[in-house]
Structure 1
C-alpha cells in the first residue's frame, strides 16, 4: 500500500472513531453539554401553556412558530411536570428549587395565629435563597417583568430583583415584552438575569382588540363568548360543583380561543427573540422557556386550573437554549424544582450553600438519570389538598379532603380516564407510590 493511501486510510479511521465518540456523547447528555460560563439568562414563563398545545411538542396546529424555531436549536425536555397546578406555588418553586410544601407559598394568604397575612416567602421560609439573589450576588443586573396577580411582589417574588414590574394584573407580553426591551436598551452591555412573564394564555386575559377567532369553527352556534367573566364563572362552578356542563362544540370553541392566545403570545415572543439576535446577545444568553402549569378543557369535567393535578394541567413545555450546543430532546422526568440548579449549572455558577437547599437537581447532571418520580401538589384557595406522584407509567393521586385515591396507567390510559385504584389498592407499586408522597412531605 502506498504511503498516500495509508495516510488516507488512517484519516478515515480517525474520522470514523470521532463519529462514534460524538454519537456516544450525544447518548450521554451530561457529556454533550457545552456550558456558557457567566452568560446572561433570559427566563420566560408563558403562563398556562400546556405541553401538548405547542408545535415542537407535536401539536398539529401552527400555534408556536417562533418558539418552535427556538426549540429546534435547544434542549427540549419532553417529560416535564409542574410542581403545582397554579401560578403562585409553581413559580415560587422555580425561584427556590424546593417543593411548595417547603417554601410555604401555597396560597395567597397564610394564618399567623388568628390573623391573616399575605403568603410572602419572607414570612413562610425566610431562610431560603432565591434565584435572583444568587444572580445579584454574582454581579448580575436583575429584572423581572410580570403580569402581576399571582406574581405580585407582596408574595416575595421580588426578592433579589433590582427591578420588579407587576403593576397591571393579568398583563400579557404586549405589556411585559416592551418593558423588557426598554430595560435591555440600558443594560444589555452588562451581565443580566431577566424573568419575563405573560398571562396571554390565561383565562383572565383577553387579547388586545379582542379575539379574531382564527382557529374557531365558523359553524359554532353555541352561547359561549370566551370573555373573562364567563371563564371565571366556569372555573368557580367547577370548583364548587366538581364539574360543569359543556357540549363538545363548546369545548372546541374554548380550545380554539386558547390556541389563538398561544399564537398571539408566540408573536410577541418572536419580537423578543429578534431583539436578542439583532443586538448580538444570542451567543452570550441562555434562554429558558416554560410554563407554570397547563389548562383543563373538560377532560375531567372542568375548565381552568388549580384544583386538580391531571396531566393536562401539570404537563408543561420546557426549552433550554444554551449557545453552541446541538439540539437535543430528552425524556428524563423533569420538574419545576430543577430549574434553579439547572440554570446555575448551565452558566457555571457554583454556590455550595445554595445547592444544599435544593429539592431539585440539574437536568444536565449524572444524578438526573437516577430520578424515578415527579411530585406535584395543590392546596388551591384552601378548597383542595391534593398530591400526586408519577413513577414510570404509573400515576397516583391522593385527595386528602375527599379521602379519594386515583391510580392511572399512563401508558394504557394517557388521558387518565380509568381509575384502577380499587383493583390495585394493595399492590406493591401502589403502596410504594403512597409511601413516596409521605417521604417527600416529611
Structure 2
C-alpha cells in the first residue's frame, strides 16, 4: 500500500464514520477522539462473558459499557496466546509478519517484534499523544520483546492483579492532562485461577484441594475429573467477575479525569482458555474457537454508535487500523490491518509447542485449519454452524476449495526476516513464567 493510498484510506474511513454518525442517536456527528484507551483482558474467552450469552452473570459492567459501544459478536484473535496476539494489536500485522512468536521446539523462548516494524505507540506519539502502558503480563508483553517501543512510560512492575493496574492508572491520571494513548493489560483471568473473596465463591463448584492451576495437573499426567473442571471453571469465572468490577472502576477513573466521554475506548482480549475441550488445557496450541473467539467492544467519543452489535466475523487485527483511522493517522504502507467495519480476511496463526506451524482461515461458517510439520501439511475443515464444538472434520472432496486456495496462498507468501535478537530467559522472567504456569 503506497503512502497516498494509505492517506486515501484514512480519509475514506473518516468520511464513512461521519456519514454514519447521523444514523445514531448518541451524537449527530462523528467526533475524533481526544484520547485512545486500549484495554486487553488477558485470557478472556468470549463464551464465558454474559454479554456474549453466557448464563452466568460474569460481566454486568461490561454489558453496561456495551450500551455506549459497538459490540463485535464474532471477533477472532490472530493468535492463540499472549505474545503473537498482542504483537498483532500493536503492529497491525499477522504474527509471522511482525515476528513475535514462539521459537520452534521451545516452550518459553520467544522472538521479539521485528525492530523494523513500527508499533502503534510509535505512530501515535509524533501526533501529539503522550503514550503510557500499564502491563500485568510482563513476562510476555515484555520490554525485551519490543512491547515498550514508542511508550513514554511503561509500567510493568507490581501490577499482577487488576486492582494494582487500576491504582497505577489512577495515580497517573492525576498528574497528566495531555492527549494520551493509554494501554492496559489486565491478567486476572489467566492462571493461577485465584479470585479474591467473595468472587472465589460467586459461582458454585469450588474445591480448594484442586489448587489454582489446571495446566499443572495436565502436564503432570493427571486427567481432570468433571469435579476438577467444574472447580477450575468456577474460579476462572470468578476472576472474570472480579475483573469486571475493576473495569467499572477504571471507567469511573477515566470519567473523573474528564477523559472518558471524548475517548476512543477499546476492550478486547488476546486469547481464550481451554478447560478440557479436546483434552486440552490452557492456551497456545490448536486454534479451536474457545481460544480465538474473544470479546471486542469499541466505544467511540460521545457514545456514537452506542449499543450497536456487529454479527459479521472480524479480526482483532483491525483494532490497529481502526485506532489510526479514528485519529487521522495514516497507517504504514505495508500494514495488513484493515478497519473493523471494512471487509477483511480473518486468519489465525501460531507456532504450537513442538515447533508445529498452525494456521486457520474462515469462509462463512467454514473454518479450515492447517498444521505444517517436517512431514507436510494436514488440513482439517469444520462447519461451525453444524459443529460448533469442532469435533467432526469435514472429509468430502473439494469442500471449500476457495478457502483451501486462499489459506495456501497466505501460508506460502514470503515473510520478512526478523532481525531482532531472541532474549534469554533471565531469573526474574523465569520466576514470572513459573507463576503463570508456563514452566513447571
Larger Rg: 1
Which residue is 1:97 aligned to?
A: 92
Distance 2:200 2:83 in 1: 30
TM-score w.r.t. length of structure 2: 0.81
5 Å-filtered alignment, 1:116-135, equals: 119-121=111-113, 125-135=114-124
Q: Is 1:395 aligned to 2:367, yes or no?
A: yes
1:249 to 218, 227, 230: 227
1:357 to 308, 329, 334: 334
Which residue is 2:212 aligned to?
A: 227
Contact 1:391 1:433 in 2 (8 A): no
Shift of 1:98: 0.2
Which residue is 1:322 aligned to?
A: 300
Q: Deviations over 1:4-55 (max 9, x none)?
A: xxxxxxxxxxxxxxxxxxxx958999xx995432520111010000111112
Shift of 1:205: 5.4
Distance 2:110 2:80 in 1: 20
Which residue is 1:278 aligned to?
A: 256
Which residue is 1:15 aligned to?
A: none
Helix, strand or coil: the match of 1:319?
strand
Contact 1:50 1:317 in 2 (8 A): yes
Q: Deviations over 1:68-113 (max 9, x none)?
A: 11112101111110000000010011000000100111126999xx
Contact 2:349 2:360 in 1 (8 A): yes
Which residue is 2:433 aligned to?
A: none
Structure with larger RCO (C-alpha < 8 A, sep 6+): 2
Which residue is 1:431 aligned to?
A: 404
Gaps in structure 2 of 5+ consecutive residues: 1-18, 416-440
Which residue is 1:263 aligned to?
A: 241
Shift of 1:406: 1.2
1:342 to 319, 322, 335: 322
Query: Which protein has the bigger helix share?
Result: 1
Q: Deviations over 1:298-341 (max 9, x none)?
A: 12111111011000000000000012313211123311221111
Contact 1:74 1:321 in 2 (8 A): yes
Contact 2:33 2:301 in 1 (8 A): no
Distance 2:174 2:271 in 1: 31
Alignment: residue pair count: 389
Gaps in structure 1 of 5+ consecutive residues: 1-23
Which residue is 2:63 aligned to?
A: 68
TM-score w.r.t. length of structure 1: 0.80
Compared CA separation, residues 27 and 35, structure 1 to 2 (3 A) = closer
Compared CA separation, residues 25 and 181, structure 1 to 2 (3 A) = closer
- Over the aligned positions, Cα root-mean-square deviation in angstroms equals 2.9
Compared CA separation, residues 55 and 39, structure 1 to 2 (3 A) = same
1:192 to 160, 166, 180: 180
